[in-house]
Amino acid sequence: MANPRITATGITTTLGPNGSLPLRREIRDLQANFKDQFNLYLLGLVDLQKKPVKELLSYYQLAGIHGEPYVAWNGVTGNPNARFGGYCTHSSILFLTWHRPYLALYEQALYASVQKVAGQFAEPLRTRYLAAAKDFRLPYWDWAARITRGTSAFPAAVSSSTIKVIDVDGVEKPINNPLYSFRFNDKAIPTELALDSRWRQFPNTKRAPDSSGNSQNGVVSQVITNENESLRTNVSLILLSYTHFDAFSNNAWLEDEDAGAYGSLEDLHGEIHDKVGEGGHMGSLAVSAFDPVFWMHHTNVDRLWAIWQALHPNAYVIDKVSQAAEANFTISAGARISGTTDLKPWYDSSATKFWNSNGVKYTTPFGHAYPETQRWLYPNDQAYQAAVTNEVVRQYGANRITSFFTNLAASAAPPKEASTAAASKQTPVATASVANKFAHLVPNRMYTEWITNLRTLKHGLNQTFRVFVFLGDFNPDPKTWPTEFNVVGRFTVLGRGDDTPCEKCQQDQESELVITGTVPLTSALLQDIVAGQLASLEPADVEGYLERNLHWRVTLFDGSEKPREEVPGLKVSVVSTKVRIGDDGIPVYSGVYDTHPGITDGRPAGLTPGDRV
């Protein structure tokens, strides 16, 4: 009898009386406030990582679905007469929708291990941990969360090699942290499931490996923390100002779009892959899913999509002809991609049909929600959307930029009739002297947002590479660039080599797929204004300043420099748009973008007048 098909259903869940669902929680929140679930998460992950490699729901095989070893999973093959080349949907409108059931499948496998471990405790701990296990859901790592000075954006629960747990015997003890790395058991991996020779040399997953192959999580922490503000601004930008799913979801260049559509959730996703990997597993899509942080990272990507969906409920449109850039092992070039296109290899609960994008639009079918998407708490959609908007502004928009401008605008605004107590409560953070000094930055509650737009051939260098964007001087040694004080952000290109078995990557190479990304500049410019180096955010001041101080450099996967002019298709430009600060502090983007070619014209890979934007 044939083995039954595995379905990607997530965790079977009965809605609460008001329609509530268990929440996927941020890893630091889980560790601090849901200690039993966090403890079970670690123990369950240890159990899952030990499952035999040949099991389809083993950690190894679940990770392998994403790329290597490029073996068909669960009996799902692709186009007739084509050799298997993976199910990759990167740089595709299916990027987000394909990964949602993938996460649900991983979550159900991890959930099973969590239940198993909870049942191994002796009473009275068993009852307590079984109760905690019931509502366990996969945590996410919010890599754009606001951090305070002196703290790291990379959670200690992920970066520490050992961690304490209460084991099933009831004793607290240190263990090898299963979130730190995944250890490969070479003796148990059959040849047909082995990774390629480059990655087989590592006994476990690596982050920012040094010359001896040792992970440097401290470097990863520095890199992610250093670019936190630019990253948060980017999250706010795409959540609040992007209104088309195709532009928001993936990084393929939309040539018919304007200059305001270069960013995407996939672009931010690639940036995190690169920052955590820094030459290690996360920086290569072929093996990134083996790093345990991959799952928390992608769960956050899924969360940000769920938030965007709540803000733009009518913007979900998947309907286009699949050019080579959309084709993969299971989708033929020229086929129409729509909401009913099969998301292989993910069978739905029927075990006879595959999930499609229409079916995965919301997280409800998979048995969970996120802290921001608790629709059941609100009487109507309007109240729900207002609450989600406020959360986005609180978490990502209320950074130094928006707070600074909001306070200035509030200081400059005519006083409203209010009681003394109310007026005192609304007193802006900015002092009157500061407000007077910088009030010119927000005339009529408006300011100018500045953004670096970048595009390039995705597979032009046959490997992952990144473009660093600096504002000000920097050390000429490329080894220092990831942690340079004046680095504003990066544009990461998760490219593959000519020899990749990835079917879609081969198609993308042949079609010369171009991808895009953004690095916001306003936060860095504001720092220079406060320092007295720049007068305002108006083009008359900023254009010349950026001509002198904006720089970009390219490094390859191994961190070595690549001359900018030798990167196929690389184009760097600067655009600006007007933003109005509402009475509620919420930024409203004009949607009109001006291009400033003079800033980059004449420099390697710079946009020149007449170039397509």
Q: Rounded distance, CA 349 to CA 463, Å?
A: 38
Q: Containing H/E element for 102?
A: helix 95-118
Is omega for the bond preceding 101 within 30 degrees of 0, making it cis? no
Comparing C-alpha atoms, which of 577, 571, 552 is closest to residue 610?
Answer: 571
Q: Rounded distance, CA 331 to CA 88, Å?
A: 10
How does DSSP classify residue 415?
A: P
**Helix (H, G, I), strand (E, B), or coil: what is residue 134?**
helix
The region that residue 243 occupies, defined by phi over 0 for left and psi between -120 and 50 for alpha, beta otherwise, is: alpha
The per-residue pLDDT for 326 is 55
Tokens of 49: 């990582």
- How is 147-208 classified by DSSP, letter by letter? --TT--SS-HHHH-SEEEEE-TTS-EEEEE-TTT--B--GGG--GGGPPPHHHHT-SB--SS
Residues pairing with 166 in the sheet: 172
Q: Rounded distance, CA 350 to CA 347, Å?
A: 7
Given CA atoms 564, 567, 569, 575 in this order, what sign does their dihedral have?
negative
3-state helix, strand, coil in the chain (%, to 5): 40, 15, 45
Q: Check if the beta carbon of residue 73 is closer than 8 Å to that of residue 56.
A: yes
The per-residue pLDDT for 501 is 73
Comparing C-alpha atoms, which of 108, 113, 112, 90 is closest to residue 8?
Answer: 108
* pLDDT 10s digits, 390-427: 999 999 974 556 666 666 666 555 444 333 322 222 23
The per-residue pLDDT for 408 is 63
**What are the residue ranges in the chain where pLDDT is below 50?**
1, 398, 414-431
Q: Rounded distance, CA 133 to CA 37, Å?
A: 6
The region that residue 426 occupies, defined by phi over 0 for left and psi between -120 and 50 for alpha, beta otherwise, is: alpha
* pLDDT 10s digits, 81-114: 556 677 888 888 999 999 999 999 999 999 999 9
The number of C-alpha atoms within 13 Å of 317 and in the hemisphere containing its C-beta is 9
The per-residue pLDDT for 431 is 46
Question: E-assigned strands of 436-479?
Answer: 446-457, 464-471
How does DSSP classify residue 369?
A: B
**Helix (H, G, I), strand (E, B), or coil: what is residue 87?**
coil
Opening angle at CA 585, ends 583 and 586, nearest 5? 105
The per-residue pLDDT for 417 is 39
Residue 418: count of CB within 10 angstroms of its CB: 11
How does DSSP classify residue 352?
A: S
The per-residue pLDDT for 90 is 87
Comparing C-alpha atoms, which of 242, 283, 243, 245 is closest to residue 263?
Answer: 242
The per-residue pLDDT for 439 is 80
**Helix (H, G, I), strand (E, B), or coil: what is residue 520?**
strand
Q: Rounded distance, CA 509 to CA 496, Å?
A: 9
Q: Rounded distance, CA 236 to CA 413, Å?
A: 25
* pLDDT 10s digits, 119-166: 999 999 999 999 999 999 999 999 999 888 888 999 999 999 999 999
Question: E-assigned strands of 495-586?
Answer: 514-520, 550-556, 561-562, 571-581
* 491 φ/ψ angles, rounded to the nearest 5 degrees: -115, 115
* Cα 208 to chain centroid, rounded: 18
* Cα 57 to chain centroid, rounded: 25
Q: Containing H/E element for 275?
A: helix 265-277
Q: Rounded distance, CA 528 to CA 179, Å?
A: 39
Comparing C-alpha atoms, which of 599, 575, 579 is closest to residue 587?
Answer: 579
Q: Containing H/E element for 588?
A: strand 587-595
The per-residue pLDDT for 278 is 94
What single letter denotes the amino acid at residue 372?
E
